[in-house]
Amino acid sequence: MPRYDAPIRDMKFIFHDVLALQNYSNLDGFADATPDIVDQILETSGKFASEVLFPLNSVGDKQGCKRADDATVKTPDGFPDAYKQFVENGWPLLSKTPEMGGQGLPHALSIAVSEMMSAANMAFAMYPGLTSGAYEALMAGGSDDQKQIYGPKMATGEWAGTMNLTEPQCGTDLGLIKTKAIPQGDGSYKLTGQKIWISGGEQDLTENIIHLVLARIEGAPEGIKGISLFVVPKYFVNEDGSLGERNTVSCGGLEEKMGIHGNATCVMNYEDATGWLVGDEHKGMRTMFIMMNEARLGVGMQGLAQAEVAYQNAADFARERLQSRALSGPKAPEKPADPIIVHPDVRRMLMDTRAFIEGARMFSYWTALYGDLLHKSPDEKVREKAGDYMALMTPVVKAFLTDRGLKACNDALQLHGGTGFTKDQGVEQYVRDVRIALIYEGTNGIQALDLVGRKLAANGGRAIFTFFAELDDFIAENESDEELKPFIDALATAKGELQEATSWLMQNGMSDFNNAGAASMDYLELFGLTALGYMWAKMAKTALAKRGSDPFYDDKLVTARYYISRILPETSAHLAKLKTGAEPLMALEADRF
């Protein structure tokens, strides 16, 4: 039977020992996040994830969602009840502001809770994940009225939120949006158009669904500069907060898809549906980006989360499955063969994944902490750095964690041999489910372009230079520590290569944009590897200091050494590839493919 055990020990290590949340008690809500409270939250949400959501994971996969002729959508058996418990337990309120009824706890903590929900049941976790993104966008860009009307019920999760960008002719290029909005003279607009692939567009989990929709106001400029954002509720909300009539937005069909069957992916038809502008006319992308950035960090976390559940089950299988003898002689002579965990190549798959997961978890929570600093720090300089880091790290978290998350799930399947390819152990579901994470919220290729095209250059490169300075400081502070030296040396090499790649891009990317495009994915990989190298060096430093008190720290050091010796050296290959520029990619004529 597959299992999911929430990795609480590792989460506690990051929050208490490495990030030391307790040192941020000057920030709103952090004083309440005492180690005891953090542990309690991790343990109870981990239990909910393993005991309630995980058993529904394969149910959701097998049953999928069903649309009836009246355009209602039924989620898989057990989902509505689990969602009810999710709301009653108050999980969505964890880091929401107290003004909206939230507990105001650190966002970094709610990221850990989301990780567990997503690992246990990615399709389920997407419903509240999108609601959270829609809520943040409304809080950032909505009017006071809109915040009051929709905020409290979206904060609790009683109402869901969706994001409606994609149309049949427009995915990556949102400038092609056709959905039109006609002003009614009373502050409202009538929206007409079709959106496709809308996650949670219709469902039976919540009494209302608040759609955030990108559309073009009649007469708006062409392209991305003419896009506005609207809030379009499924049911109108009366002045007393009760639900009124049904709006003319409905689900026209459900997509059949490769994975995440428990999440309803809907065609949404807007037929003179009434909506209200969020923010300014033609400035919709600005607010939508708030939602997209939040969602991108959440999607990166999906890669890590699926890798974790796949890893746990692969490790169990590797200890149980008996095949062949160890190359160094039998390890279980009383058995007909040794467990496959004795074979170095099987261990390669497990160690690659373990080193990725633990580094990626640290990277996700570290980045999420900058989200807290951005919103809560009283120090303007700290807020500036946090904003720079959030912008710089978001595409890396999204793309690096999902690319490697897919690899981890694929390795877990490979480790299972034929058992992995059949349905019994459930590991093939993780591969199918995680696959979408590389595509939605902007494909990973687009994340790489965002990194090299926008994020590096922003404010004269302030963010990347701050990051380099932080790495230099860390290296200088620790290079005389003999035990830490291997980690510091490895980090210094990777950082040097990232710096060289950055200079190459600055010199060659501006003169020929194809050079920047061709280098972008290698640059993102090089960045992700280096960022995880930094995370591993930080974790190794803490583990060395705590060694002896718990075997956990010895294991951490073993994994840290694996990362710097077997994964981090990939940086050199990425540097060499990116420096070849656009020519090898662009040489063949399009009709010769």
Ligand X SMILES: Cc1cc2nc3c(=O)[nH]c(=O)nc-3n(C[C@H](O)[C@H](O)[C@H](O)COP(=O)(O)OP(=O)(O)OC[C@H]3O[C@@H](n4cnc5c(N)ncnc54)[C@H](O)[C@@H]3O)c2cc1C
Number of residues that bind ligand X (CB under 6 A): 19
Is 75 a binding residue for ligand X by CB under 6 A? The answer is no
Given the residues 115, 441, 497, 525, select the one marked as catalytic. 441
List the beta strands (DSSP E) in 220-264.
Answer: 227-233, 235-237, 243-246, 249-254
Write the DSSP symbol of residue 504: H
Query: Of the two residues 439 and 582, which places its CB atom closer to ligand X in the complex?
Result: 439
Q: How far is CA 446 from CA 168, 296, 450, 567, in A?
A: 19, 12, 6, 24
Residue 208, helix vs strand vs coil = strand
Distance CA 17, CA 155 (A): 30
Q: Where are the alpha helices (DSSP H) in 439-512?
A: 444-450, 458-478, 485-508
Among 119, 139, 446, 519, which residue sits at the site for ligand X (rule: CB under 6 A)?
446
Is 164 a binding residue for ligand X by CB under 6 A? The answer is yes
DSSP characters over 271-298: EEEEEEEESSTT-HHHHHHHHHHHHHHH
Residue 226 in contact with residue 280, Cβ under 8 Å? no
Phi first, then psi: give them for residue 336, nearest 5 degrees. Answer: -65, -20
Is 163 a binding residue for ligand X by CB under 6 A? The answer is yes
β-pairing verdict for 180-183 and 208-217: parallel
List the beta strands (DSSP E) in 165-204.
Answer: 180-183, 188-199
Q: How far is CA 495 from CA 89, 247, 288, 506, 571, in A?
A: 44, 54, 33, 16, 9
Is 440 a binding residue for ligand X by CB under 6 A? The answer is yes
Distance CA 291, CA 301 (A): 15
Query: Of the two residues 7 and 517, which places its CB atom closer to ligand X in the complex?
Result: 517
- Name the token pair of 287: 């607010």
- Name the token pair of 213: 């929709």
Query: Of the two residues 165 and 488, which places its CB atom closer to ligand X in the complex?
Result: 165
Is 63 a binding residue for ligand X by CB under 6 A? The answer is no
- Name the token pair of 561: 């050494």
Q: Minimum Å distance from CB 291 to ligand X?
A: 10
Binding piece for ligand X, criterion CB under 6 A, among 66-74, 160-168, 498-506, 536-544: 160-168
Site string for ligand X, 186-205 (x = CB under 6 A): -----------xxx------
- Name the token pair of 482: 């003999």
Residues 245-274 that bind ligand X (CB under 6 A): 257, 265
Residue 181 in contact with residue 230, Cβ under 8 Å? yes
Site string for ligand X, 198-237 (x = CB under 6 A): xx--------------------------------------
Residue 465, helix vs strand vs coil = helix
Q: Mark whether 482 is an active-site residue.
A: no
Q: Minimum Å distance from CB 165 to ligand X?
A: 3
Binding piece for ligand X, criterion CB under 6 A, among 70-78, 407-415, 444-452, 475-483: 444-452
Residues 313-332 that bind ligand X (CB under 6 A): none
Query: Of the two residues 166 and 274, which places its CB atom closer to ligand X in the complex?
Result: 166
Binding piece for ligand X, criterion CB under 6 A, among 81-89, 159-167, 487-495, 533-541: 159-167
Residues 408-437 that bind ligand X (CB under 6 A): 436
Query: Of the two residues 372 and 450, which places its CB atom closer to ligand X in the complex?
Result: 450
Q: Minimum Å distance from CB 142 to ligand X?
A: 19
Binding piece for ligand X, criterion CB under 6 A, among 136-144, 382-390, 440-448, 459-467: 440-448
Q: Minimum Å distance from CB 395 to ligand X?
A: 13
Which are the catalytic amino acids? 441
* Interface residues toward ligand X, by CB under 6 A: 163-166, 171-172, 197-199, 257, 265, 436, 439-440, 442-443, 445-446, 449
